[in-house]
Amino acid sequence: MTASRPPGEPRHIAYLYLLPAFAVYAAFLLYPIGRAVQLSLYDWDGLSLGRWVGLDNYLAILSDEGLRAAFGHALVLIVFYAVGPLVIGLALAAILNHAKVRGLGFFRTVVFLPQVIAMVVVAVAWRRVYAPDGTLNTLLGALGLDSLTRGWLGEHAFALPAVGVVGTWFETGLVAVLLLAGMSRIPMELYEAARLDGAGAVREFFAVTLPSVRGEIAVALTLTVIAALRTFDLVYVTTRGGPGNATSVPSYEVYHRAFGLSQIGSAAAIGVTLTVVIFAISFGINRFADRGVA
Amino acid sequence: MISRGERVANYVILSVFAAFALFPIVTILSAALGPSDSGPTSGLGNLAAAWEIGRFGTYLRSSLLVSAFVVVVSVVLSVMSGYAFGTMRFRGQSALFYLFMLGIMMPSEAIAVPLYFDLRSLGLIDTFWAVSLPQVALSVAFGTFWMRAYFRASNRAIAEAARIDGASSWRILWQVLLPPARPAVVTLTLLVFMWTWNEFLIPLIMVTSESLRTAPLGLAFFQGQHTSGFTLLAAGSVIVATPVVIFYLFLQRHFVRGLLQGAVRD
Amino acid sequence: MTRTLAVLTAAALTLGAAACAPGSSAPPAAPSAQPSAVRTDAAALGKVTLTVWDQEVRGGQAAQMKQLNAAFEAKYPNITLNRVSRSFDDLNTTLRLALSGNEPPDVVEANNGRSAMGAFVKAGQLLPLNAYAQAYGWQDRYPESVLRYSRYSADGKVFGEGNLYGLPQVGEVVGLFYNAAKLTELGLRPPTTWADFQAGLAKAKAAGEVPMQLGNLDKWPAVHVFGTVQSRVVPADQIRTLAFGRKGASWNTPENTEAARQLVDWVDKGYFSKGFNGQGYDPAWQAFRDGEGVYLIAGTWLLADLHKTLGKDLGFVLPPGATAGAAPIATGGTGLPFAITAKSPNPDAAAAYINFVTSAEAMKVLTDTGNLPAADTAAQTVPAGPQQDVFTAFGTVTAENGLVPYLDYATPTFADTLGAALQDLLAKKATPQEFLATLEKDYKTFAESNG
């Protein structure tokens, strides 16, 4: 935060400019999150008078097997939403930056496309891909891999990874384009110096490219980790948490408990916990990136 | 510099990934435009049939109304608050700014539950306001951040000159600073439009009457309602996704820039 | 940044704690008193618009609803219908939200169980229909065995007796749809005993056919399969106690264990279609319709859709008992009952609508569109074939009081618990004992607290 301050005297008129935005923001975002904290301390069915239970709803997140599993599933999704796209994205960006590839514009348009498609549409498409008679199994059959075909969303071992792959699918383009933008800003001199030292392509990648895009990596991780933790639409449309509870995730539990089971307090507690986790993770990632740069 | 083998390998890797990215999209498109599995239609006829049976006309209309309101209101409010943060000094500036920043990361799941019950006791559930105002709140957080970054980087000399000429801060904003800010505003407009159009949870909870349902909701319900085949569901998906995709194809630069810089802290 | 966050958190906490306990400002529950005077002269009610939410989205049901609505509007030009139809799942998830809103729909189809109708009654969101039942003579139209599925005590605690909160339109029974052509090919006849049925499954498997279609991605479809197996081995009165969520029964019995084990045995033998837990309900019956699969355990609501394509190749029998002469037992009852919301400004018009779509003429329309009417089944004439199979089956099983309720009625959370537990059981992630322990926990917790 060393950027220059705006010029001029302190001005009261600034508050007037802020007022409309702040009013909407406070009423529809700050106040509700305060209310969420309050609701999370009650046992409430949404109709009758709530009963004060203190931190019980939070303790349940630690003790209730189903809820613990939901947060565990979110961690698994992080691997698919964040780590996978980062590794693939680094490879793609390195190729695109290094080799003067023809059709770069087309490629970028294609890999970024999933970002702008409504998640409901994405979910409908992938539900079809994963169906027992869906396109993935058809493809496997055509390749002579009939033994691998299955109902992907219906098997406990495959449902969560299958949902995760959808995350990898729509986040990789974003990460690749982000990293490519960072890499294209690396001065050529750095590469030339490395080459004079006799570095090969691999060492060059680890010695020059990777450190230079540290900031972009932090941004990519922040965006994708938050997206992983917030997965809702996808689960709602594809599996509703099934089979069993194999794909239940915190966001889905918030909705399900509040509006399916009428356990408002528990839902609010999960929501608040999710918010804290998101803040902590993005704060941590950025701290890590800052320290690396300094 | 690059060996032939390496070049081939590069193209293979990129093609494989492009195929992966396109696979589900092709799945949907081919189902939507192929011969129908539940009626006599095919090609564009499927889209027409889905439009009719799935009531997508109504849903797109609500989506359009909600998106237009959210975009206009949050862009105007964001320009004003970004202007204050970016060009003025005042007490509590950084605390207020961080307060807005919280909103960028805030999961809507956390606020949707209390909002629903509070709006219900106010009798505002199932109204246009219940579905649009929370989305304005979520959007001004990002919008403020975005416009502040623009105004901080903008040319101060012109604004100073106008000020010395006696122009009010209001006039400086709309007549001096805003015209050159068009690219930034366009990007913001497109992003807010996309987020609002694609939003699922808030409309799912906040409205129950048909006339306020937005397109993604309509599609999710159509999935359960149209039980006799996949073609029309795929066609409905195409209808819902198309508006944003068209904007993306023509104004790709803005989408990429906005989504990439959106989270970059200064 | 850290400090700012701490300050903000503190501020949010104060903000929250300052407000009063949730629910203290909730809208008061609507009075459950009867409307002072019930009017049945719908034509004289003036201009009225009725919003109706139904789940009649499948072929035959959609057709009858369309036809009846048009007839209703023609008969009462002063009443306009605003129809919203949704799938079973989506109706369930949105109805709860809609009923707590300011302007809920006037007429809704609410699932009988405790998670839906029970919860709505408890919240005072539905209108007791006793006075209308009296005025229109609904108790003569339907036998009490049908009406009791829509009865609750005024506080929603007792299920199966008390006020009447809804009136169903169609009858339902879960049984065995079969592909007659395939049975003939396999040299089989429709089964007359349960052992016979299982032998048929084995034979179909050996011949390379898909013995049974199942699509269980949506969690609830296997409930019907399990209910069918369970009612072969568990006494009917025990099932009723369990399904109405009353005290005095248990899931941890040798009979229930046997039922769960039989289901797992079918999985082991590969009787279900491949990847059933990952297949949607609709794609599964579509596959059966298109000739894949010898049997489909499902409810009569699929009749019209299946009949349309399979024609004479479609057959239906009640799940057979241990012996050919055993008393018929099957899961079923009625379709979702139509109820009137407590906040509806037009209860009289709403009641007239419900009366209309459940009248004798309506039952005829239901029959003509390939549905199974809840009443007067015997009075209808249907051509020989699958529809007659279904009518005969329903007639037989109701005559002998052999219907057992859907298991998901039991508790407010049971649909969920049972659906997820069955997915686990079928995927062999849970043993029959673990499966039953999960169900027992939900049932006991509720039954104890409900008193």
Instruction: Quote the pLDDT of residue C29.
Output: 47
For an interface test with C, give the residue of B124, B202, B209, B233 to mutate (most C CBs within 10 A): B209
Instruction: Quote the pLDDT of residue A291.
Output: 64
Contact A30 C12 (CB under 8 A): yes
Structural tokens at position C169 = 């339109």
The C-alpha torsion from C66 through C72 and C74 to C79, rounded to 10°, is -110
Q: What single string gives the DSSP state of each residue in chain B? A: ---HHHHHHHHHHHHHHHHHHHHHHHHHHHHHHSB-SSSS-BTHHHHHHHHHHTTHHHHHHHHHHHHHHHHHHHHHHHHHHHHHHHH-B-TTHHHHHHHHHHHHH--HHHHHHHHHHHHHHTT-TTSHHHHHHHHHHHHHHHHHHHHHHHHHHS-HHHHHHHHHTT--HHHIIIIIITGGGHHHHHHHHHHHHHHHHH--HHHHHH--SGGG--HHHHHHHHHHH--S-SHHHHHHHHHHHHHHHHHHHHSHHHHHHHHHHTT---
* Nearest CB neighbour to A156, from listed C13, C274, C429: C429
Task: Identify the residue with better confidence: A289 or C252.
Answer: C252
pLDDT digits (tens, 9 = 90+) for C83-131: 888 888 888 888 888 887 778 899 999 999 998 999 899 989 999 999 9
Residue B46 maps to a domain: no
Residue A131 maps to a domain: yes
Hey, is the C-beta of B169 within 8 angstroms of any chain A C-beta?
A: yes
How much is the average pLDDT of B1-13? 81
* Neighbouring C-beta atoms of residue C269, cutoff 10 Å: 13
State percent of chain B over pLDDT 90. 59
Residue A218 maps to a domain: yes
Domain count, chain A: 1
Burial of B13 (0-12, 13-18, 19+ CB in 10 A): middle
The span from the CA of A184 to the CA of A188, in Å, is 9
Q: Which of A42-46, B66-70, C22-26 has the highest mean pLDDT?
A: B66-70
At residue C28, does pLDDT exceed 50? no
Domain ranges, ordered by start, for chain C: 42-170+335-379, 172-333+403-450
Task: Name the residue range of residue A161's domain.
Answer: 19-293
Residues of chain B whose C-beta is under 8 A from some C-beta in C?
94-95, 98-99, 102, 116-117, 120-121, 123, 125-126, 205, 208-210, 220-221, 223-230
Instruction: Quote the pLDDT of residue C24.
Output: 63
At residue A92, does pLDDT exceed 80? yes
Residue B33 maps to a domain: no
Position A6 confidence tier, pLDDT thresholds 50, 70, 90: low
The span from the CA of C100 to the CA of C114, in Å, is 17
* Nearest CB neighbour to C87, from listed B98, B210, B225: B225
Cα-atom radius of gyration of chain B, to the nearest Å? 23
Report the residue of chain B nearest C95, measured CA to CA: B208
How much is the average pLDDT of A143-161? 91
Residue B2 maps to a domain: no
Instruction: Quote the pLDDT of residue C363.
Output: 93
Domain formed by C42-170+335-379, architecture: 3-Layer(aba) Sandwich (3.40)
Report the residue of chain B nearest C304, measured CA to CA: B228
The span from the CA of C361 to the CA of C53, in Å, is 22
How much is the average pLDDT of C343-350? 94
Nearest-CA distance from B62 to chain A in Å?
A: 16
- Per-residue H/E/C for B203-232: HHHHCCCHHHCCHHHHHHHHHHHCCCCCHH
Q: Residue C108 — φ and ψ, nearest 5°?
A: -135, 150
How much is the average pLDDT of C319-344? 92
Position A292 confidence tier, pLDDT thresholds 50, 70, 90: low
For an interface test with C, give the residue of B105, B115, B202, B228 to mutate (most C CBs within 10 A): B228
H or E element that contains C330: strand C330-334
CA–CA–CA angle A180, B146, B214 (5° rounding): 95
Q: Which residues of chain C are within 8 Å of residue B221 when distances are taken between CB atoms?
A: 86-87, 90
* Nearest CB neighbour to B219, from listed A124, A177, A223: A124
CATH fold for domain C172-333+403-450: D-Maltodextrin-Binding Protein; domain 2 (3.40.190)
The span from the CA of C387 to the CA of C370, in Å, is 7
Contact B126 C101 (CB under 8 A): yes
Strands (E), C70-219: 79-85, 107-109, 151-152, 163-164, 171-179, 212-213
Structural tokens at position C266 = 């079918």
At residue C11, does pLDDT exceed 70? no
For an interface test with A, give the residue of B14, B22, B127, B199 to mutate (most A CBs within 10 A): B14
Task: Name the residue range of residue B85's domain.
Answer: 56-214+242-261
Residue A267 maps to a domain: yes
Q: What is the ipTM of this complex?
A: 0.91
At residue C32, does pLDDT exceed 80? no
The domain spanning residue B75 has which CATH number? 1.10.3720.10
Q: Could you say which DSSP state residue C159 is in?
A: B
Q: Per DSSP, what are the bridge partners of residue C52?
A: C83, C107
pLDDT digits (tens, 9 = 90+) for A215-253: 889 889 988 999 999 999 999 999 988 898 899 999 999
Domains C42-170+335-379 and C172-333+403-450 share a fold: yes
Minimum mean pLDDT range among B212-216, B241-245, C58-62, C415-419: C58-62
Position A41 confidence tier, pLDDT thresholds 50, 70, 90: very high
Model confidence, pTM: 0.86
Instruction: Give the pairing of strands C314-317 and C171-179.
Output: antiparallel
State percent of chain A over pLDDT 70. 95
Instruction: Quote the pLDDT of residue B82.
Output: 95
Instruction: Quote the pLDDT of residue C100.
Output: 79
Instruction: Quote the pLDDT of residue C17.
Output: 47
Residue B122 maps to a domain: yes
Residue A78 maps to a domain: yes
Question: Collapsing DSSP states into helix, strand and coil, what is residue C80?
Answer: strand
Q: What is the mean pLDDT of chain B?
A: 89
At residue C69, does pLDDT exceed 70? yes
Residue B50 maps to a domain: no
Q: Which residues of chain A are within 8 Å of residue C277 when distances are taken between CB atoms?
A: 151, 153-155, 242-243
Question: Collapsing DSSP states into helix, strand and coil, what is residue C96?
Answer: helix
Residue A84 maps to a domain: yes
Residue B226 maps to a domain: no
Residue A279 maps to a domain: yes
At residue A260, does pLDDT exceed 90? no
Q: Over the range C305-339, which residues count as b (16 or more CB within 10 Å of their CB) and which as e?
A: bbbeebeebbbbbbbbbeeeeeebbbbbbbbbbbb
Residue B24 maps to a domain: no
Q: Chain A to chain B, count of Cβ pairs less than 8 Å apart?
A: 287
Question: Collapsing DSSP states into helix, strand and coil, what is residue C405?
Answer: coil
pLDDT digits (tens, 9 = 90+) for B74-102: 999 999 999 999 999 899 999 999 999 88
Q: What is the mean pLDDT of chain A?
A: 89
Note the Cα A141 to chain centre separation in Å.
Answer: 32
Residue A14 maps to a domain: no
What residue type is C431 in one-letter code?
T
pLDDT digits (tens, 9 = 90+) for C191-248: 999 999 999 999 999 999 999 999 998 889 999 999 999 999 999 999 999 999 999 9
Q: Could you say which DSSP state residue C213 is in?
A: E
Domain count, chain B: 1
Q: What single string gives the DSSP state of each residue in C335-402? A: SPPEEEBTT-S-HHHHHHHHHHHTSHHHHHHHHHTT--BSS-GGG----TTHHHHHHHHHHHHHHTT-
Structural tokens at position A122 = 């994405």
Residue A1 maps to a domain: no
Q: Which residues of chain B are within 8 Å of residue A122 when distances are taken between CB atoms?
A: 24
Strands (E), chain A: 42-43, 51-52
Q: Residue C331 — φ and ψ, nearest 5°?
A: -70, 140
Instruction: Quote the pLDDT of residue A190.
Output: 87
Longest C-alpha distance within chain B, in Å?
71
The domain spanning residue A226 has which CATH number? 1.10.3720.10
Position C379 confidence tier, pLDDT thresholds 50, 70, 90: confident
Instruction: Quote the pLDDT of residue A262.
Output: 84
Task: Identify the residue with better confidence: C375 or C173.
Answer: C173
